[in-house]
Chain A
Amino acid sequence: MTSTNTKDPNAAVGLEGGTVIAVSRRARLAEFWYYFSQNRGAVIGLYVFIAIVLIAIFAPVLAPHSPTMQNRGFFLLPPVWEEGGNWSFILGTDAVGRDVLSRLIYGARFSLFIGVVVVSVAVSVGILIGLIAGYFRGAVDTVIMRVMDIILAFPSLLLALVLVAILGPGLVNAMIAIALVQQPHYVRLTRAAVMSEKGRDYVTAARVAGAGNIRLMFKTILPNCTAPLIVQAALSFSAAILDAAALGFLGMGAQPPTPEWGTMLAEAREFILRAWWVVTFPGLAILITVLAINLMGDGLRDALDPKLKRS
């Protein structure tokens, strides 16, 4: 960390030296970790999430079989602890003889990929639009917020479904649709935060010092609006996974034979009363992933929201 670090609002005003900033940043990180680790659920969520990330990264090493290989003679094989189970297919096989465990392991890649892409797109577009609306106000703001109201007037899943119908079913189009449906939340949050920060003294000081609009928006104001955005990002990461799985379940997301968890559920639906395992495990995978992320989100909120911190 050097003294020319301009991302820190204190440095922008030129009040503190380099070492002080380095210390204060480390102290803030320590404070963040202190509050985050106070929440036992959040720490568990973090561990589970790290485990899922590792599973996704090392899927080819961990998976006992290929996720798309159909094993003849092993159709709808039950899990190993059930009668007729087989150790080479620990969680059983699906209707065309594919190993359920291997498909679940590869499925982690899709879910995390969906979450990362959707959140990055929604966050960057949403922050940009929200900054513009909150910084410039006036007619631009009115138009932007009315457009966001329109998007929010539709149930998100319905709008995503219709968008995918327009764009054509598939994973990429599903991600675009979900990102579009989610970004109004970021626009509203960023706008509200920018409006409350804009009148502060440090912004005025930076303006007097000659900072232009772009610099004021991105370097002076934005870094001080990040806390609610981080919490929202965690929440919409899990919402993105759920929505993508729902679209997959409705046949509008990832297409078979992609081992996406929602798509797996859709394929398994007709065997629901005959082979419980092909239905149970993909949903359990979705639930565990979403739950872990939501636990982390709660911890992030506790650690970043100063209002709740005191209570």
Chain B
Amino acid sequence: MLRFFLSRLALLIPTFIGVSIVAFAFIRLLPGDPIMLLAGERGMSEERYQQLQSLYGFDQPLFVQYFHYMTDLLQGDFGTSIVTKRPVLQEFLTLFPATLELSLSAIILAIAIGVPVGVIAAVKRGSWLDQTVMGAALVGYSMPIFWWGLLLIILFSGILGWTPVSGRISLLYFFPPVTGFMLIDSLLSGQPGAFKSAVSHLILPTIVLATIPLAVIARQTRSAMLEVLGEDYVRTARSKGLPPRRVIGLHALRNALIPVVTTIGLQVGVLLAGAILTETIFSWPGIGKWMVDSVFKRDYAVVQGGLLLIAAIIMIVNLIVDVLYGLINPRIRH
């Protein structure tokens, strides 16, 4: 098992180097001079220009620059934001819990609904229930989520007035972040109503972000179940006289879940891409909104560092999924 893990980890290294080259090249590929881009609209004196150029090392050969860049990276230095002057890694770590909280609640919602719904659709194959569920899943899969979010805001915030339009918690509440997860922090703060406020802020973004993964998981669970239900061991279990619930839950579902786990793992990239749109619509202070804002503010140091950090997260999650897959499906380990 350890060997399997290490071999997968070793495969990541060239990819990570490639990703770092992409992020490194990014700021140098932008049209115009990187120093002038860093300076923004203000411009600067010739003296200051020379000073910055040697500070950032742009006057050195490319491979020397890349070497310095990598040494900095390995020491945890992902650059400094031009707008806030704070280290990119520090900003990332402040904002990441917000995205993590949103993504986790979205994927939990997607699994909690998608897997049972997919199983039911497979068991009742061809019924009106199956057709309705799969129709809904296809609509969800085709959904432009930025529009879906706006519709939900119109309905639940505008017409019904049930949920707030944006943010993570009402401005009435203030407490220092302990875990960075608003749900937990609001409970820890002990302020009455804080938890409820945090939940009501989280609901709509969660639904929006969960939509596409939910549809994908439901479809994948259904087709995996259909495949498994036709297998001999399921027929054997049935003919032994086991109750259908036990056959479906134990014999079929356990084997059907193997491809579903991979699907869920693949949704991480989808979630982070979705977070860009969802966070923008709901002004959710996470890394998706941070990246979009930085692109617009031309804070290229943040874009560069953020790109690398986000890719690293996706790669690590994919590694975990790979290992999990090996754990539940021993056949592929060798």
A283–B281 CA distance with the chains assembled, in angstroms: 14
Partner of B146, one of A146, A152, A165, A249: A249
Chain B 3-30 interface residues, beta-carbon cutoff 8 Å to A:
14-15, 18-19, 22, 26, 29-30
| Contact yes or no, B19 A153, CB < 8 A | yes
A146–B227 CA distance with the chains assembled, in angstroms: 32
Q: Binary interface profile of A, 141-157, with partner B (CB < 8 Å = 1, else 0)?
A: 00000110110111111
A152–B146 CA distance with the chains assembled, in angstroms: 23
The CB with the most chain A CB atoms within 10 A, among B144, B157, B277, is that of B144
Q: Does B310 contact A (CB under 8 A)?
A: yes
| Contact yes or no, A283 B29, CB < 8 A | no
Q: Binary interface profile of B, 130-150, with partner A (CB < 8 Å = 1, else 0)?
A: 000001001101111011101
- What is the chain A residue whose CB lies nearest that of B219? A298
Q: Within the complex, what minimum Cβ distance (angstroms) separates B165 from chain A?
A: 8
Q: Does A290 contact B (CB under 8 A)?
A: yes
Partner of A157, one of B139, B142, B230, B276: B276
Q: Does A276 contact B (CB under 8 A)?
A: yes
Q: Does B151 contact A (CB under 8 A)?
A: yes
User: A146-B18, A165-B303 in contact; A158/B291 too (CB < 8 A)?
Assistant: yes
Chain A 225-281 interface residues, beta-carbon cutoff 8 Å to B:
238, 242, 245-246, 249-252, 262, 265, 269, 272-273, 276, 279-280
| Contact yes or no, B151 A280, CB < 8 A | yes
| Contact yes or no, A287 B30, CB < 8 A | no
Which chain B residues lie closer than 8 Å to A161 at the CB level? Answer: 276, 291-292, 295
Q: Within the complex, what minimum Cβ distance (angstroms) separates B204 from chain A?
A: 13
- What is the chain A residue whose CB lies nearest that of B15? A149
Which chain A residues lie closer than 8 Å to B190 at the CB level? Answer: none
Q: Does A311 contact B (CB under 8 A)?
A: yes
| Contact yes or no, B295 A165, CB < 8 A | yes
Q: Does B38 contact A (CB under 8 A)?
A: no
| Contact yes or no, B154 A311, CB < 8 A | no
Q: Does A14 contact B (CB under 8 A)?
A: no
Could you say which interface size class chain A belongs to?
Answer: 35 or more
Q: Does A295 contact B (CB under 8 A)?
A: yes
A162–B30 CA distance with the chains assembled, in angstroms: 10
Partner of A295, one of B138, B295, B315: B138
Q: Does B214 contact A (CB under 8 A)?
A: no
Partner of B230, one of A158, A272, A311: A311
Q: Does A90 contact B (CB under 8 A)?
A: no
| Contact yes or no, A279 B19, CB < 8 A | no
| Contact yes or no, A279 B150, CB < 8 A | yes
A-B contact count (CB 8 A): 125
Q: Does B153 contact A (CB under 8 A)?
A: yes
- What is the chain A residue whose CB lies nearest that of B146? A249
Q: Does A223 contact B (CB under 8 A)?
A: no
Which chain B residues lie closer than 8 Å to A165 at the CB level? Answer: 30, 295, 303
| Contact yes or no, B151 A154, CB < 8 A | no
Which chain A residues lie closer than 8 Å to B104 at the CB level? Answer: none
Q: Within the complex, what minimum Cβ distance (angstroms) separates A260 from chain B?
A: 12
Q: Within the complex, what minimum Cβ distance (angstroms) separates A279 from chain B?
A: 5
| Contact yes or no, A158 B142, CB < 8 A | no
Which chain A residues lie closer than 8 Å to B141 at the CB level? Answer: 294
Which chain A residues lie closer than 8 Å to B148 at the CB level? Answer: 283
Which chain A residues lie closer than 8 Å to B135 at the CB level? Answer: 41
Which chain A residues lie closer than 8 Å to B295 at the CB level? Answer: 161-162, 165, 252
| Contact yes or no, B276 A150, CB < 8 A | no
Q: Does B89 contact A (CB under 8 A)?
A: no
Number of interface residues of B (CB under 8 A): 45
| Contact yes or no, A158 B147, CB < 8 A | no
A295–B139 CA distance with the chains assembled, in angstroms: 10
| Contact yes or no, B150 A283, CB < 8 A | yes
Q: Does A166 contact B (CB under 8 A)?
A: yes
Q: Within the complex, what minimum Cβ distance (angstroms) separates B288 from chain A?
A: 8
Q: Within the complex, what minimum Cβ distance (angstroms) separates B195 from chain A?
A: 27
Which chain B residues lie closer than 8 Å to A245 at the CB level? Answer: 144, 146
Q: Does A282 contact B (CB under 8 A)?
A: yes
Which chain B residues lie closer than 8 Å to A149 at the CB level? Answer: 15, 18
- What is the chain A residue whose CB lies nearest that of B296? A251
Partner of B147, one of A156, A287, A298: A287
| Contact yes or no, A147 B18, CB < 8 A | yes
- What is the chain B residue whose CB lies nearest that of A288? B142
Which chain A residues lie closer than 8 Å to B280 at the CB level? Answer: 250
A268–B312 CA distance with the chains assembled, in angstroms: 36
Q: Does A116 contact B (CB under 8 A)?
A: no
User: A146-B14, A161-B276, A265-B150 in contact; A294/B142 too (CB < 8 A)?
Assistant: yes
A146–B14 CA distance with the chains assembled, in angstroms: 7
Which chain B residues lie closer than 8 Å to A157 at the CB level? Answer: 273, 276-277
Additional A-B contact list (6), CB under 8 Å, known A41-B135, A154-B22, A276-B154: A150-B18, A155-B270, A162-B26, A165-B295, A294-B141, A294-B142
Where the two chains meet, the residues of B that have a C-beta atom closer than 8 Å to any C-beta of A are 14-15, 18-19, 22, 26, 29-31, 135, 138-139, 141-144, 146-148, 150-151, 153-154, 157-158, 226-227, 230, 269-270, 272-273, 276-277, 280, 291-292, 295-296, 303, 307, 310-311, 314-315
Where the two chains meet, the residues of A that have a C-beta atom closer than 8 Å to any C-beta of B are 41, 146-147, 149-150, 152-158, 161-162, 165-166, 168, 238, 242, 245-246, 249-252, 262, 265, 269, 272-273, 276, 279-280, 282-284, 286-287, 290-291, 294-295, 298, 311
Can you pick out 9 interface pairs between chain A and chain B where the beta carbons lie within 8 Å of each other? A158-B307, A238-B142, A250-B292, A273-B158, A279-B151, A280-B151, A283-B150, A287-B147, A295-B138
